[in-house]
């Protein structure tokens, strides 16, 4: 690229940044379903019709999201990942879906999805090719691709970064943000940019990302294994001082998809992923086969209190408070109305571990608290911050608590609505036997 082209782009970039993407979307972490981790780049619709990347697969998932209670819980974005395209642009230079697998086109699929009260996401790549080698979106195609997606009725763009260099990324990610804005169609913008720069400052400028993107991938792709989930949790926790302040309403770190319901996680490990994604204020984007889900896994993904913690309107990302030599890590997330979430995670591999502590040791103010155990459904009232208690945590499992102060706080409770759901859960479970032992 000549120097005049580069300076032209820089001018465009400055103009773009002044029109940042602030369209009011993603006030809480986006929720939905994405094809990649479970269905990858399976384009074999001859021998594997049920599982290939095709409009039929997305229609099936739209049906499941709308008929099996997911949409009402907030899982609203149905997101196409890589491998939807034909390997050539059309005569007008627009990306086009492979007609053998998407015979109705994306606009028709978007209508199908919208008719079911859902939203459609799509994938493109800031570079010469997508990660799987389909046509990319180099700088000079950004405008046309944004316009094409808007004209199809797309609601969400995952913008990957394979086959581009850091200079192109620095220009391209803000340019796409402005181009999406210019379409006039509100779209959620998910940027993979930081993942291509090592995920940390000084290479990554999280203030800029917060201005131009709603969410961003920071780290490696998730795989269907506990090792992968654990590695992601570890990286996000080790780097929380850089990552945690970057998050807030409209701007989220994305540790990648929920793999709950696939082949790699036990029930305990699935609870651990759900709990950690909830306290880390992570997007809850499942990648699994909603047509065929184990009931235990469905219950974890549909746990209303875990979802409500994730979707807390204050939007503060949680932090790892403690890492014990015993292999127990404690996470904490402040929530609206003086409530909070605690997660006790066991990295042990032997047996359930009885962990003893008290709330004042976990930075709680003096007072009395009510605790709701998110996965067992039990409630305990009258837990004093200085009373010793113990929790039994399974290997690679969690105990997750929703904690609320018992005395009404002096703070005015201006918006109790987000907790209505919780309140009814509490009532339901109030009579159940507590799992907590107060010593």
Active site positions, annotated: 160, 221
E strand spans, 293-352: 319-323, 328-334, 340-346
The verdict on 81 binding ligand GLA (CB under 6 A) reads: yes
The verdict on 224 binding ligand GLA (CB under 6 A) reads: no
Label residue 395 exposed, middle or buried (CB < 10 Å: 0-12, 13-18, 19+): middle
CB of 35 to ligand GLA, least distance (A): 9
Query: What is the rounded end-to-end Cα distance, in angstroms, of the chain?
Result: 70
285 in Cβ contact with 79 (< 8 Å): yes
281 in Cβ contact with 211 (< 8 Å): no
411 in Cβ contact with 337 (< 8 Å): yes
438 in Cβ contact with 388 (< 8 Å): yes
Query: Stretches 130-138, 174-182, 278-286, 399-407: which one binds ligand GLA (CB under 6 A)?
Result: 130-138
Query: Stretches 55-63, 105-113, 125-133, 342-350: which one binds ligand GLA (CB under 6 A)?
Result: 125-133
DSSP 248: B
CB of 222 to ligand GLA, least distance (A): 8
CB of 238 to ligand GLA, least distance (A): 20
CB of 131 to ligand GLA, least distance (A): 3
Contacts with ligand GLA, 147-166, as mask; x by CB under 6 A? -------------x------
413: left (phi over 0), alpha (psi -120 to 50) or beta: beta
The verdict on 200 binding ligand GLA (CB under 6 A) reads: no
254 or 373: CB nearest ligand GLA: 254
Interface pick for ligand GLA out of 57, 78, 122, 131 (rule CB under 6 A) = 131
Interface pick for ligand GLA out of 9, 31, 36, 71 (rule CB under 6 A) = 36
The verdict on 254 binding ligand GLA (CB under 6 A) reads: no
411: left (phi over 0), alpha (psi -120 to 50) or beta: beta
The verdict on 132 binding ligand GLA (CB under 6 A) reads: yes
279 in Cβ contact with 345 (< 8 Å): no
The verdict on 221 binding ligand GLA (CB under 6 A) reads: yes
The verdict on 179 binding ligand GLA (CB under 6 A) reads: no
| Contacts of residue 118, Cβ cutoff 8 Å, sequence gap at least 6 | 32, 62, 65, 66, 71, 76, 77, 78
Q: Which stretches of the chain bind ligand GLA, using CB under 6 A?
A: 36, 81-82, 130-132, 160, 192, 221
């Amino acid at each position: 690229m000549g120097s005049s082209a580069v300076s032209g782009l820089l001018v465009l970039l400055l103009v773009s940044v002044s029109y940042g993407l602030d369209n009011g979307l993603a006030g809480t972490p986006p929720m939905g379903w994405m094809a990649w981790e479970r269905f990858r780049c399976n384009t074999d619709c001859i021998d594997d019709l049920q599982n290939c990347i095709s409009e039929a697969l997305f229609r099936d998932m739209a049906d499941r999201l709308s008929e099996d209670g997911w949409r009402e819980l907030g899982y609203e974005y149905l997101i196409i990942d890589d491998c939807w395209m034909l390997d050539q642009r059309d005569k007008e230079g627009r990306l086009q879906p492979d007609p053998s697998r998407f015979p109705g086109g994306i606009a028709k699929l978007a209508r199908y999805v919208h008719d079911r009260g859902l939203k459609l996401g799509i994938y493109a790549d800031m570079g010469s090719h997508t990660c799987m080698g389909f046509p990319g979106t180099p700088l000079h195609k950004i405008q046309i691709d944004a316009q094409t997606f808007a004209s199809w009725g797309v609601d969400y763009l995952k913008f990957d970064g394979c086959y581009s260099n850091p200079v192109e990324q620095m220009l391209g990610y803000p340019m796409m943000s402005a181009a999406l804005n210019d379409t006039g169609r509100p779209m959620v913008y998910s940027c993979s940019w930081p993942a291509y720069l090592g995920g940390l400052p000084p290479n990554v400028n999280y203030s800029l990302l917060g201005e131009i993107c709603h969410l961003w991938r920071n780290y490696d792709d998730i795989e269907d294994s506990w090792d992968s989930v654990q590695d992601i949790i570890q990286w996000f926790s080790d780097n929380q001082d850089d990552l945690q302040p970057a998050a807030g309403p409209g701007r989220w770190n994305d540790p990648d998809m929920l793999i709950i319901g696939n082949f790699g996680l036990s029930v305990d490990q699935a609870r651990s992923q759900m709990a950690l994604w909830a306290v880390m204020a992570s997007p809850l984007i499942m990648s699994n086969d909603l047509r065929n889900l184990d009931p235990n896994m469905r219950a974890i993904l549909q746990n209303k209190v875990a979802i409500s913690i994730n979707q807390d309107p204050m939007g503060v990302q949680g932090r790892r408070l403690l890492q014990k030599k015993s292999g127990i890590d404690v996470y904490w997330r402040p929530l609206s109305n003086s409530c909070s979430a605690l997660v006790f995670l066991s990295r042990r591999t032997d047996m359930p571990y009885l962990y003893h502590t008290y709330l004042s040791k976990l930075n709680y103010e003096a007072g009395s608290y009510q605790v709701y155990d998110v996965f067992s459904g039990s409630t305990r009232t009258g837990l004093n911050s200085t009373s010793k208690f113990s929790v039994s945590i399974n290997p690679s499992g969690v105990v997750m608590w929703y904690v609320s102060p018992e005395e009404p706080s002096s703070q005015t409770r201006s918006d109790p609505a987000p907790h209505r759901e919780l309140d009814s859960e509490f009532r339901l479970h109030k009579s159940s036997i507590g799992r907590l032992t107060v010593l």
